[in-house]
Amino acid sequence: MADDRQAWVVRMNTGGGDVVETGISEGCLLLGWSGAEGLISCDDYEDFRKIVHDAHYSDDTDYKRSGQAASQLWLFVHEMNVGDRIVVPHPGVFYAAEVTGPAQYDDSTLALTTDTAHRRPVRWLNGGEPIPRTFGRSALISRMRSWRTVTYAGDLVTEIEDAIQIGATDAPTLATSLRQALIETTKQHLLTGYMDERRFEELVRDLILAVGAIDARIVPRRADIGADIEAEFSIGHLTTIPARIQVKYWDGQAGQEPVDQLMQAMDDVELGIVVTTASFTDEARQYAADQSSRTAKQLILVDGDELCRLIVDYGLDSVLAARIG
């Protein structure tokens, strides 16, 4: 069964706010869009999308936002299976679960303000206790950054199982401790070593290539397109997705300014990434999520901690030697 098991990242933040604690107490994954009744029995995607559009996006002149919502609900209703692993992100931690039943629509919740009519029963793993994000490898943590409500993570089943196992021990393994020490050391070198803005752009470009981009190039400053790096990612060797990347070599905290700068460079692309040595304020993360929802563009924020995890996990020894000295 493990070989066929899929995995998903599910964000449980509905129109009623954060509903993670409610989901844990009720043994369910909880999604919003409660006005879209009839999705459970609808197996035609065009009809499915129309239900979502008419219920929640009827003022929109196109299907861009409703299509994004419908695609995520479709995964939740029709693609998840019993036995699949679920990761639910929460600030600083995540929860893990196993799907135990089909999607349901609970109309008894419509009188409430929580917006949780779409549900799936689950068995919460690790006793329903949160697992520190530091127990997860960078690929899993990066996937948890997705702004989408439902994100496929079937390629990360092993990483999810490892994090659950570490969480169950109540303490990190030696390997986890050593990895965390490497991450902290890397962060200190990035901020205090032989690094400047230009070298940092080169490091990020090399990292983007290491994690799977087929092309990444630094934008000449005279071009001034509002982004520092242009990249392309391959999708199944059939097509490519262009991306714009804003790079900020900062200490402290980053607000919404780099998100605004990136948005100005994304008129013709759907994927944008902000990479910084700083941390992001909660307001900046919420602003990016709101902009993603409003424009149906994907915005990914990579802070200093996640950047260092990526560097350590992808083993960029030669890159670090060349960029930091």
Q: Which residue has the tokens 């900046």?
A: 284
pLDDT at 92: 82
Look at the alpha carbons of 178, 181, 187, 192 in this order and tell me if their dihedral is positive or negative: negative
pLDDT at 224: 64
Question: What residues does CATH 3.40.1350.10 cover in the chain?
Answer: 176-324
Question: What residues does CATH 3.10.590 cover in the chain?
Answer: 2-168
What is the fold, at CATH topology level, of the domain defined by 2-168? Answer: ph1033 like fold (3.10.590)
As given in the structure block, the two tokens for residue 80 are: 């998840």
Residue type, 180: Q
pLDDT at 315: 66
Low-confidence ranges of the chain (pLDDT < 70): 1-3, 168-176, 223-224, 236-238, 315-325
Rounded to whole angstroms, how far apart are CA atoms 161 and 164? Answer: 5
pLDDT at 175: 65
Name 31's bridge partners: 118
pLDDT at 174: 67
pLDDT at 169: 66
pLDDT at 195: 80
pLDDT at 91: 82
CATH code, 176-324: 3.40.1350.10
